[in-house]
Structure 1
Amino acid sequence: MLDGAELCVPQLNSSCRRPTHPPTTVMLIHVLLSCVSFITVALNLMVIISISHFRQLHTPTNLLLLSLAVSDLLVGLLLMPVEIIFINVCWFFGDMVCTLYYILDYIITSASVSNMVLISLDRYVAICSPLRYRAIVTKSLAKTCVCLCWACSVLYRLLLLHNHLEEPGRSISCLGECVVVIGHVEGLVDMCLTFLLPIAVIVLLYSRVFVVALRQIRAFRWKVAAQHSGALATRRNEVKAAFTLGMVVMVFLLCFCPYYFPALEGEDTFINASAAAVEIWLAHFKSCLNPLIYAFFYPWFRKSLKLILSLRVLQPGSRDTRMLD
């Protein structure tokens, strides 16, 4: 028989046992994860402000990056704080709020994956069909694809988790916990649709991109001349952009693989809001790493960051600042 002080709701037999971790450990975890959340929000907000403010950055590729930054911002602004607050704390917001929280989590995750697929398609067309790129990939098409990406993410997650919506708390065994259990079959379907299939498409496209890009660089080197130097620089920029986005994909792979281990092992996926599970935080940590990759590899981001932090974006005419060489 547990002592009442150890229960989320004292003297109630159906209550969960209160999480008990050393106060020092909890404090260190709170500080560390709070810093990750703050950096995630700050950096992705810089990406969003940069692309939204400067007119020269309103390109189809950057619109896709903007959508990715929005999903990463939502992770740092909505998902991470909830997980930080409920470390070592019982859940008292009810079963429906718990279910909606996880649905929101999955929607944002699916949208992030879809955005990466769209970005890889964009780079594929840009390098493999450079002369037709501007005619094929327009701002209108990019906006439509982004809207479809988010709409399909919402629809897919509602279908996958409809049982939890119809019966909130079906995975909860006691009062005071927020748990969602994804069955083995559903977990395999989810892994195929939101991990294996997208990654296969992304890797295939990037493989083709790098092969074509290297072939084009070799061709330019043989024909290099004064009139072709500008074209060579353009192709190098394209390859650099493809490499940067490839880094984003690799980060995604490293961060999300641990989450799908239970499905690969034939087990149900068990997610607890109060557990601070390493695989969940590793998956969310991707949202912090993406803008760091932009900061290291994109000159326009570093330049816009300086303009934002110095408040020069508030000056008249700053929207027309030249950001791309």
Structure 2
Amino acid sequence: WRSNNILLVVLLCYPHLGNSSCRRIMYSHSVSVLLHIILSSISVLTVTLNLLVIISISHFKKLHTPTNFLLLSLAVSDFFVGVVKIFLIFLIDGCWFLGADWCVFYIALSFVSTAASIGTVVLISVDRYVAVCDPMHYQTKVTANRAKICIVLCWLCSTIFHTVMLKDNIEHPGGFDSCAGGCTFYLPPFAGVVDLLCSFIIPISVIVILYVRVFMVAVSQARAMRSHVAVVTLQNSLKVNRSELKAARVLGVVVVVFVLCLTPLYLVLLTIGLGVESASSYIFVVGLFFFNSLLNPVIYAFMYPWFRKCVKCVLSLQILKSGSSEANILEHLLKCCF
């Protein structure tokens, strides 16, 4: 319709349904192309880089350590976040054309992969805490089997918890969409509070407390080394700590980046719950959190020589050679890797 010489065009997701259809968000052609290119590039890079981490740690047996198993779990969750980004491309213009079942799958995958990612970061913090603060008992307390059990429990709890939270959505796909072409979900009021506690407040508190303790031990250790007060009987344990501290620094970067990307999302979600809502802010913080899944493998590439070597082996197809899984990928890199 035309008012005061201004032409307003309303486009619908399903024009033949009239007012029962959701409205399509209109962008200029250049903006639409730019958004598709950016989202597609980030999605492909996230999926590809995390897939390289998954293949590397899974294939090379020398990398089958408790800490690396935790990195593998984080890479798997980040991989699924990359898959979720692909679904987001379909929502750029505000219309969902894949059907109610795929909408529920997309939402459930988003919640489960996000929760598993948060749980894995907590496990990484616990792993570094034991390695740095109790190095003498690390080998007995943190074993590969225990790490695997913790990872399985983390994913199992994330799946069960969010299946219960999204129970109404799973039983009634599309039942909460206000218009045709939408993809929305419903959470009971108490579920939002529980999710805030279990997915943000408690995990972040645990992560901060553990890494503050790790930082304090690392500082005291550095001071002791500089002052040369370490006695001969402690030299071996100091060597262990020095190696573990290198891993703690790298994983500390991963944890700090994760917290910085996660915190704005929940702060905005909290303001929405209090009645303060900004669509642009919400889109930005969601994008920031999803972007974290791309940053993790980039951090590994810059700080882990073994990862760069593994990528070369994967891309050159050397992993297809018989016995390649037994290769000592850490050879000549032991001074750099944990």
Pair in the same fold by TM > 0.5: yes
- Counterpart mapping for 1:75-86 below 5 A: 75-76=81-82, 78-86=83-91
Q: Residue 161 in 1 paired to residue 166 in 2?
A: yes
> d(CA) in 1 for partners of 2:326 and 2:276?
49
Q: 1:14 to 1:197 in 2, by over 3 A?
A: same
Indicate the residue corresponding to 2:217 in structure 1.
212
1:24 to 4, 26, 30: 30
User: Does residue 122 in structure 1 map to residue 130 in structure 2?
Assistant: no
2:265, 2:282 within 8 Å by CA — same for their partners in 1?
no
2:297 corresponds to 1:291: yes
Letter in 1 for 2:267: F
Q: Provide the residue aligned with 2:77 in structure 1.
A: 71
Amino acid at match of 1:38: V
The Cα of 1:49 is off from its aligned counterpart by 1.4
Q: CA deviation at 1:308?
A: 2.3
Find the aligned partners of 2:84 and 2:140 in 1 and give their Cα distance: 39
Q: Note the 1:29-44 alignment, pairs <5 A.
A: 29-44=35-50
Under a length normalisation based on structure 2, what TM-score does the superposition of the two structures give?
0.85
Q: Find out whether 1:255 has 2:283 as its counterpart.
A: no
- Structure 2 vs 1, CA of residues 212 and 314 (structure 1 numbering), >3 Å: closer, same or farther? same
- Post-superposition Cα deviations, 1:211-239, rounded to whole Å, max 9, x if no partner, equal 12332344345256999877655422311
SS at match of 2:185: strand
Q: 1:175 maps to which residue?
A: 180
Whole-Å separation in 1 of the counterparts to 2:287 and 2:81: 10
Structure 1 contact 123–242 (Cα < 8 Å) conserved: yes
Q: How does 1:1-325 map to 2 (within 5 A)?
A: 6-12=11-17, 13-76=19-82, 78-88=83-93, 90-182=95-187, 185-221=190-226, 222=228, 232-265=238-271, 266-267=273-274, 277-324=283-330, 325=334
**Structure 1 consecutive aligned stretches of length 4 or more whose deviation exceeds 6 Å:** 1-5, 224-230, 268-272
User: How much has 1:312 moved relative to structure 2?
Assistant: 2.8
Are the aligned partners of 2:96 and 2:181 in contact in 1 as well (CA < 8 Å)? yes
How far apart, in 1, do the equivalents of 2:260 and 2:28 lie? Answer: 30
Runs of 5+ in structure 2 lacking a partner?
Answer: 3-7
Give identity over the alignment, percent: 46
Select between 79-88 and 67-76 the one with higher mean Cα deviation: 79-88
Offset of 1:164 from its aligned partner?
2.3
Q: How many angstroms apart in 1 are the aligned matches of 2:63 and 2:293?
A: 21
Deviations 1:294-316 (A, max 9, x none): 11112211222222233333333
Q: 1:289 to 1:205 in 2, by over 3 A?
A: same
- Mapped to 1, the partners of 2:282 and 2:270 lie a distance apart of 21
- Give, in angstroms, the shift of residue 183 of structure 1: 6.0
Question: What is the aligned length?
Answer: 322
What is the TM-score when the length of structure 1 is the normalising length?
0.88
Equivalent residue of 2:322, what SS?
coil
The alpha carbon displacement at 1:123 in A equals 0.9
Give ranges in structure 1 of 5+ residues lacking alignment.
none
Distance 1:89 1:204 in 2: 40
Q: Which one is further off, 153-162 or 94-103?
A: 94-103
Q: Relative contact order, CA 8 A, sep 6+: which one is greater?
A: 1
Do the aligned partners of 1:122 and 1:137 also contact (CA within 8 Å) in 2? Answer: yes
In the TM superposition, what whole-angstrom CA distance separates every residue of 1:185-219 from its partner, at most 9, and x where no partner exists?
53332122101110110111111112123323443
Letter in 2 for 1:42: T
**Distance in 1 (alpha carbons) for counterparts of 2:278 and 2:314:** 38
